[in-house]
Amino acid sequence: MADGTNRVRLTVHGLDVDNGFVRAEVFAEKLRHFANAVKSADSGRNKSQKYSLIIRELKIGSADAWMDAKQIKRAQKVPVSPIPDVSGIAAAIQGGSTSFDGVQPKLISSLAAVASGSGRTHSHVEVDFGDGAIVRFDQFFEGRAERAKEIADGVEAEAPRWFEGASIGQFDGTIRQVDSRGAIVRGKIVLTIDGSELDCTFRRADLDSVIGNYEHRSKIEGIAVYDGLSERPVRVDVRKVTPALEGANILRWGGYLRRPTGPMWSEAI
């Protein structure tokens, strides 16, 4: 884990077709976009650029860089590190927030660019901001970042048909298709009620618990992110997996699963 408020760790994960290795131009591109995000946050917070990312450690044989935000210009007033701002905005995007008033659209665009190309030129990017704040930059993040940029730009969007935002939810289903690369692991929840799939993520620290209940019907609890385009969440950040009792009956939840309201169908399980 990264330590302090300035030190961050950026890791690019490669594709299976490349045997898990990362293409040099992809790593350079993602590092550049992340540096641009830090620069935008720095200029916004301190009125002009006062910090620059310094690579402290670059691991041989992997696309993994530890960096510090180092003050490069003197100022009468002690400038504020831009890293906490970048961390907070990235976490808000990942968490499905719909509040981005006062956030620079350029900063959001740079973060979206860190996520672009996921699944095509690389698997995904992870940034460890320290203190347990880890953000996964992938296709889901890119889509949420585009929505965040619209909000920051003040673009009048059509009112969502369904709930948009994040909600605590419980789901009856099984976890499958686990991709164990990185600190934020991705998988699929297959719902017991109708066999449909929900994208999900969970912390590597919980991997043993998830694998222990892999493809076993369970009660899955977490933070569900809704995009307003569907009554079902686009991703669930899994926090707890509890094996279901044998022979448990879920048909009584059918009415809740079909309710035309956002998070209620998941909260009722």
Q: Looking at the domain assignment, is residue 1 inside a domain?
A: no
User: Distance between CA atoms of 65 and 85, rounded to whole angstroms?
Assistant: 20
Going by C-alpha positions, the residue among 230, 221, 211 that lies closest to residue 266 is: 221
Q: Looking at the domain assignment, is residue 242 inside a domain?
A: yes
Going by C-beta distance under 8 Å and a sequence separation of 6 or more, which residues neighbour residue 145?
Answer: 93, 108, 109, 111, 112, 115
Looking at the structure, tell me whether residues 84 and 193 fall in a common domain.
Answer: no
Of 120, 153, 186, the residue at which a domain comes to its end is 153
pLDDT at 187: 93
pLDDT tens sequence across 64-122? 999 998 888 877 777 889 999 999 999 999 999 999 988 999 999 999 999 999 999 99
**In what helix (H) or strand (E) does residue 140 lie, and over which residues does it extend?**
helix 139-153
CATH at 258: 2.40.50.140
Looking at the structure, tell me whether residues 131 and 168 fall in a common domain.
Answer: no
pLDDT at 243: 87
Looking at the structure, tell me whether residues 131 and 178 fall in a common domain.
Answer: no
Looking at the structure, tell me whether residues 223 and 133 fall in a common domain.
Answer: no
Beta pairing partners, 240: 221
Q: Looking at the domain assignment, is residue 3 inside a domain?
A: no
Looking at the structure, tell me whether residues 14 and 128 fall in a common domain.
Answer: yes
Segments of the chain with pLDDT less than 50:
1-4, 250-269
Of 107, 134, 153, the residue at which a domain comes to its end is 153
Going by C-alpha positions, the residue among 179, 139, 175, 167 that lies closest to residue 233 is: 167
User: Tokens 């509890």 map to which residue?
Assistant: 242
Domain containing 232: what range? 164-267
Looking at the structure, tell me whether residues 17 and 113 fall in a common domain.
Answer: yes
User: Distance between CA atoms of 75 and 79, rounded to whole angstroms?
Assistant: 7
Please give the tally of structural domains in the chain.
2
233, 224 in Cβ contact below 8 A? yes
Looking at the structure, tell me whether residues 146 and 215 fall in a common domain.
Answer: no
The first and second tokens of residue 57, run together, are: 């450690």
82, 67 in Cβ contact below 8 A? no
pLDDT at 260: 39
User: Distance between CA atoms of 109 and 149, rounded to whole angstroms?
Assistant: 7
Going by C-alpha positions, the residue among 117, 96, 124 that lies closest to residue 185 is: 124
Looking at the structure, tell me whether residues 13 and 135 fall in a common domain.
Answer: yes
107, 34 in Cβ contact below 8 A? no
Looking at the structure, tell me whether residues 144 and 168 fall in a common domain.
Answer: no
Query: Collapsing DSSP states into helix, strand and coil, what is residue 249?
Result: coil
pLDDT at 28: 95
**In what helix (H) or strand (E) does residue 28 lie, and over which residues does it extend?**
helix 24-46
Looking at the structure, tell me whether residues 24 and 134 fall in a common domain.
Answer: yes
Distance from chain centroid for Cα 122: 16
pLDDT at 132: 83
Going by C-beta distance under 8 Å and a sequence separation of 6 or more, which residues neighbour residue 67?
Answer: 7, 8, 9, 10, 53, 54, 55, 56
The first and second tokens of residue 18, run together, are: 């490349």
Looking at the structure, tell me whether residues 148 and 229 fall in a common domain.
Answer: no
Query: Collapsing DSSP states into helix, strand and coil, what is residue 120?
Result: coil
* Global pTM value: 0.83
